[in-house]
């Protein structure tokens, strides 16, 4: 039977196969052993036994358990990578357990082939992975693109698995992937040890569409059985189990897994078509559809059409978000609001009010806010940020919590600030929602909440911020102390003074410096009391120098008198320690940049104090 070459790996209804050895191989030396083939009218060889027929129930159960555990590992890896998409360097670490488990399976079995269903993967007739039909369901993504069998071969390395994982996580709502699918991405990846069978549209004699679909299902079932054959050659040419099946392939061009009829478009033609389609969708098609829908309100709308319009406007909302067209979306919302001021039939006015409320609720749902956050966080530069802010500020208080949850996953400061500006506007009367999150262990979220509370500027703002001085994260405590100490509000002085007794040296050093932003004379007295305390000598030299520097910066007579006495001190015992102490004082006076401090040093020299005494 003459074999017809269709392409590599994915095909109309084909199987990745290995050419048989011996006579067949010599007859086809030009054929890649993993090329796809379609056989003609040959019946299946019923004598061939599948692997399942050679295994007992216990062995099959063990293999199914291995497959389920593999997908458990893979699911955890997908979640970790989704959460930490920015941390590319750790992707292989997240996939380590999956790779080791899959490597062991392939070492034991050689290959593992999964039947792709709409909601999951089957192995030996058992569902080993199953989820709802969402974008998070990787099986659904493959099924939607036509993949019906997925095969992993021994020799798979970590790089191939990582590349496969990235394809599974592809967000096809992004503009760059709008015209891609799982098959095209798999084809571009050029996997060596991952193979797949794709069912595409093709003509099957004169049969009806329903009959053709039934035949395709039979073909896929047969191909899967052939993949699990116990033949020594492993994968073989596909033998269709249908009698007198005729597949028309006249004038077909080979394109590495893609079957194309006629002359293919040039790259420039493809680019022009894609650009035109994108322009039609984003700048012309959607606004035109909005015009058509809004014109319907000029006439009385029946109840059945009213329900349909609500669904249509929600779909328009999602379309604008998919195209990242916030300007067009805001124009639609504005025109919808303007309808309420027109002289419309009473039922239509009620519908407009209902539509406005529906849109506000839908816009604030977690799924759509996550989409907005993703657009902002992944864009190299935020386009028309004022339009994004206009969208967010049109929400109500119900959107605050899902917006905060989306904010937690964002990384870019500019994008986070835009969300925070909207939260400050939406949450003016919901301050407690932000205050509760000040104790979060996520430093970025805490900083965002400080920013929001500062923008809202409630009367007790400083009291709320002061709670962060007890936050477990030192960086947060230092930032808060610096904010309070630099506020210029005299009421913050008590928080800075209290921080002088903090258990952390960095907090105490920062407090000593910030104390000068308040009453200088009071600061000098406070610092003098600390440095003259006998226990001060036990502190780290760096902290001592910081306190001496802050004291010198006060420029008060009491402070200068303290330094003068310390520099003139002498002792027959502990000369080395005294010299080190004087060196600290001189360093502090020099660092202070205080004119009084330099005058003091000059005066001491003129008074006859030896240089070595001043220098320790």
Both tokens assigned to 194: 């991952």
Q: How many other C-beta atoms are found inside a 10 Å radius of the C-beta of residue 339?
A: 18
DSSP H or E stretch at residue 520: helix 520-531
Cα gap 272→495, rounded to integer Å: 64
Return the sign of the alpha-carbon dihedral for residues 64, 67, 73, 78: negative
Give the pLDDT of residue 277: 64
Does 401 have pLDDT greater than 50?
yes
Closest CA to 492 of 469, 458, 473, 475: 469
SS3 readout for 117-156 = CCCEEEECCEEEEECCCCCCCHHHHHHHCCEEEEEEECCC
User: Residue 126: beta bridge partners?
Assistant: 123
Which 8-state DSSP code applies to residue 49?
P
d(CA 242, CA 207): 13
> Which phi and psi (to 5°) does residue 255 adopt?
-140, 50
What is 83-108 written as a DSSP string?
Answer: HTTT-GGGHHHHHHHHHHHHHHHHHH
Rounded Cα distance, 354 and 343, in Å: 17
436, 453 in Cβ contact below 8 A?
no
Q: How far is CA 306 from CA 7, 293, 297, 302, 342, in A?
A: 50, 11, 10, 6, 18
Give the model confidence (pLDDT) of 153-162 as tens digits. Answer: 999 999 999 9
Computed over every residue of the chain, the mean pLDDT equals 79
Give pLDDT, residue 42: 31
CA-closest candidate to residue 509, choices 484, 481, 483: 481
Query: Higher confidence at residue 298 or residue 494?
Result: 494
306 in Cβ contact with 351 (< 8 Å): yes
Rounded Cα distance between 239 and 38, Å, is: 8
More confident residue, 293 or 162: 162
| pLDDT number for residue 263 | 61
Residue 255 is given by DSSP the state E
Contact 151, 196 (CB under 8 A): yes
Q: Could you report the per-residue pLDDT of 93-151, keeping only the tens digit for each?
A: 999 999 999 999 999 988 999 999 989 999 988 999 998 877 789 999 999 888 889 99
Per residue, the 3-state secondary structure of 410-441, as one string, reads CCCHHHHHHHHHHHHHHCCCCHHHHHHHHHCC
Q: Percent of the chain having pLDDT more than 90? A: 41
Cβ 160 vs Cβ 192: under 8 Å: yes
Burial class of residue 244, CB neighbours in 10 A (0-12, 13-18, 19+): exposed
Residue tagged 């010599």 (tokens): 26
pLDDT of residue 3 exceeding 50: no
Query: 375-379 — which CB contacts under 8 Å span 24+ positions?
Result: 375/321, 375/324, 376/410, 376/412, 376/415, 376/418, 376/419, 377/409, 377/410, 377/411, 377/412, 377/415, 378/174, 379/324, 379/415
Query: Under a CB-based contact definition with an 8 Å cutoff, are residues 37 and 17 in contact?
Result: yes
Does the structure show a pLDDT above 70 at 256? Answer: no
Per-residue b/e over 562-588, b at no fewer than 16 CB within 10 Å?
bbbebbeeeeeeeeeebeebbebbbeb
The CA-based diameter of the chain, rounded to the nearest angstrom, is 118
pLDDT tens track for 462-489: 888 898 999 999 999 999 999 898 887 8
Give the strand pairing for 111-116 and 147-153: antiparallel
The whole-angstrom separation of Cα 26 and Cα 12 is 27
What is the average per-residue pLDDT within 332-339? 89
Which domains are present in the chain? 56-198 (no CATH), 267-363 (no CATH), 459-515 (1.25.10.10), 519-616 (no CATH)
Tell me how far apart the alpha carbons of residues 14 and 37 are, in angstroms, rounded to a whole number.
Answer: 6
Among 44-53, 111-120, 124-133, 232-241, the least confident range: 232-241
Order of strands across the sheet that contains 4-8 = 4-8, 35-38, 15-16
pLDDT (0 to 100) of residue 221: 59
The pLDDT tens digits for 543-565 are 999 999 999 899 899 988 888 88
> pLDDT (tens digit, 9 = 90+) per residue, 89-106?
889 999 999 999 999 999
Q: Which of 34-38, 171-175, 337-341, 557-561 has the lowest mean pLDDT?
A: 34-38
């Amino acid at each position: 039977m003459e074999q017809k070459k269709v392409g590599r790996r994915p095909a109309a209804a084909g199987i990745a196969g290995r050419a048989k050895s011996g006579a067949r191989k010599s007859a086809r030396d030009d054929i890649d052993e993993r090329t796809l083939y379609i056989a003609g009218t040959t019946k299946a060889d019923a004598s061939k036994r599948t692997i399942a027929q050679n295994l007992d129930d216990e062995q099959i159960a063990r293999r199914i358990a291995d497959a389920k555990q593999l997908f458990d590992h893979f699911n955890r890896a997908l979640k970790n990578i989704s959460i930490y998409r920015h941390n590319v360097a750790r992707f292989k670490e997240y996939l380590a357990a999956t790779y080791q488990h899959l490597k062991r399976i392939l070492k034991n079995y050689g290959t593992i082939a999964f039947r792709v269903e709409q909601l999951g993967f089957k192995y030996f007739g058992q569902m080993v992975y199953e989820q709802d039909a969402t974008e998070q369901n990787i099986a659904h993504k493959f099924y939607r693109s036509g993949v019906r069998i997925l095969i992993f071969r021994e020799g798979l390395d970590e790089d191939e698995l990582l590349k496969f994982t990235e394809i599974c996580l592809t967000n096809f709502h992004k503009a760059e992937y709008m015209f891609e699918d799982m098959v095209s991405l798999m084809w571009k990846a050029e996997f060596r040890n991952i193979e797949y069978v794709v069912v595409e549209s093709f003509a099957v004699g004169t049969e009806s569409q329903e009959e053709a679909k039934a035949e395709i299902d039979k073909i896929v079932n047969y191909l899967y059985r052939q993949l699990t054959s116990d033949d020594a050659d492993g994968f073989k040419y596909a033998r269709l189990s249908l009698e007198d099946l005729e597949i028309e392939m006249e004038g077909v061009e080979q394109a590495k897994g893609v079957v194309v009829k006629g002359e293919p478009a040039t790259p420039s033609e493809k680019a022009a078509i894609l650009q035109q389609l994108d322009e039609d969708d984003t700048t012309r098609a959607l606004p035109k559809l909005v015009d058509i829908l809004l014109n319907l309100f000029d006439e009385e709308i029946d109840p059945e059409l009213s329900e349909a319009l609500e669904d249509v406007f929600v779909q328009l909302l999602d379309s604008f978000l998919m195209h990242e067209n916030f300007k067009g979306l805001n124009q639609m919302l504005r025109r919808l609001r303007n309808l309420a001021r027109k002289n419309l039939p009473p039922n239509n006015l009620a519908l407009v009010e209902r539509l406005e409320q529906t849109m506000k609720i839908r816009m604030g749902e977690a799924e759509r806010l996550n989409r907005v956050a993703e657009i902002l966080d992944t864009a190299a530069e935020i386009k028309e940020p004022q339009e994004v802010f206009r969208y967010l500020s049109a929400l109500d208080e119900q959107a605050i919590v899902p917006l905060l949850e989306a904010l937690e996953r964002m990384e870019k400061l500019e994008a986070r600030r835009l969300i925070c500006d909207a939260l400050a506007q939406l949450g003016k009367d919901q301050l407690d929602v932000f205050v509760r999150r000040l104790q979060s262990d996520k430093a970025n979220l805490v900083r965002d909440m400080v920013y929001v509370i500062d923008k809202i500027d409630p009367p007790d703002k400083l009291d709320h911020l002061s709670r962060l001085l007890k936050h477990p994260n030192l960086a947060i405590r230092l930032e808060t102390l610096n904010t309070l100490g630099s506020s210029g509000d005299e009421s913050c002085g008590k928080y800075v003074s209290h921080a002088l007794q903090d258990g952390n040296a960095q907090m105490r050093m920062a407090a000593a410096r910030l104390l000068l932003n308040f009453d200088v004379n009071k600061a000098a007295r406070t610092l003098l009391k600390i440095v003259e305390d006998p226990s001060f000598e036990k502190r780290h030299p760096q902290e001592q120098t910081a306190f001496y520097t802050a004291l010198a910066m006060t420029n008060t007579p009491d402070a200068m008198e303290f330094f003068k006495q310390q520099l003139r001190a002498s002792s027959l015992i502990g000369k080395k320690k005294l010299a080190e102490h004087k060196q600290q004082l001189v360093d502090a006076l020099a660092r202070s940049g205080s004119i009084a401090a330099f005058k003091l040093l000059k005066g001491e020299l003129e008074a006859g104090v030896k240089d070595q005494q001043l220098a320790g």
